[in-house]
Amino acid sequence: MVHYTFQMPVDEAQVRQLRINDTVTLEQTLFGIRDATQIHLFDRGRKTKFDLRGHAVIHTAPNVKKVPVSAQYPAGYAAVCVGTTTSDRMERFTRPLMTQYGVRLIVGKGGMREDSKAAFGELGGAYLAIIGGTAALETTWIEQIEDVDMDDLNPESLWRFRIRQFGPLLVGMDSHGGSLYDTVRAHTAAQRDKVLAELGVGR
């Protein structure tokens, strides 16, 4: 288990170093993305002004407050509470995020499935698990909302956050076919019959 600090963006070689159970702290830039953002990007042909190559995206839709544009609030938004949503719903968008936009890292909770794992292996990416529901803590890692795109979808806009010591995040899926979620699923499947037998099912 190794800890990495990544100044974003990163290249393929950096991401390929990662193995499940390693930890990563992100610095500088993180993009926030959600269901509606990706439905509009990949199903409705919209484009973003942001260059996401080598970057990390987090599955989020933050609580924000509209404020006058200033040096501290260049996008006119103050972050109120920034957290993470369940990644599984956005499974089918991992591959196009990587092939069309060059995204390297996905930050989320609950894990993703086979096609994401395959895309990480083929294209050089990884899934970084954050602890869902700990948004008060996560918000302290966000320095600023630097910019926003597709804001008609608010709160599911495409956000650019400036971050500081964002993590540690746990490598849940890597580019070598590793997935902590697969390990847990296999263990749970093995436990199921034992647990049901103890409950008197099947007697």
Q: How far apart are CA 35 and CA 55, in angstroms?
A: 18
Task: Work out whether 194 is an interface residue with other proteins (CB under 8 A).
Answer: yes
- Which residue matches tokens 């990163």? 10
Q: Which residue in 7, 43, 53, 81 binds other proteins (CB under 8 A)?
A: 81
CA-to-CA dists, residue 29 to 7, 171, 189, angstroms: 8, 18, 39
Indicate which single residue of 60, 116, 144, 175 sits in contact with other proteins (rule: CB under 8 A).
Answer: 60
Contact 131, 87 (CB under 8 A): no
Q: Taking the complex as a whole, how short is the minimal distance between the CB of residue 136 and other proteins, in angstroms?
A: 4
CB 202 within 8 A of CB 196: yes
Scanning 3-11, 42-50, 109-117, 119-127 for contacts with other proteins by CB under 8 A, the matching segment is 109-117
CB of 99 to other proteins, least distance (A): 25
Give dist(CA 145, CA 139) in Å, integer.
Answer: 11
Helix (H, G, I), strand (E, B) or coil at 193: helix
Contact with other proteins (CB under 8 A): which of 110, 143, 147, 151?
110
Q: Which residues 122-161 are close enough to bind other proteins by CB under 8 A?
A: 129, 131-137, 139-140, 154-155
150: which DSSP letter?
S
Applying CB under 8 A, which of residues 54, 62, 124, 125 lies at the interface with other proteins?
Answer: 62
Least Cα distance to 55 among 2, 6, 122, 1 occurs for: 6
Residue 132 CA to residue 99 CA, distance in Å, equals 27
Q: Which of 7, 63, 100, 165 binds other proteins (CB under 8 A)?
A: 63
Return residues touching other proteins (CB under 8 A).
36, 60-66, 80-86, 88-89, 109-111, 129, 131-137, 139-140, 154-155, 170, 172, 180-181, 183-185, 187-189, 191-192, 194-196, 198-202
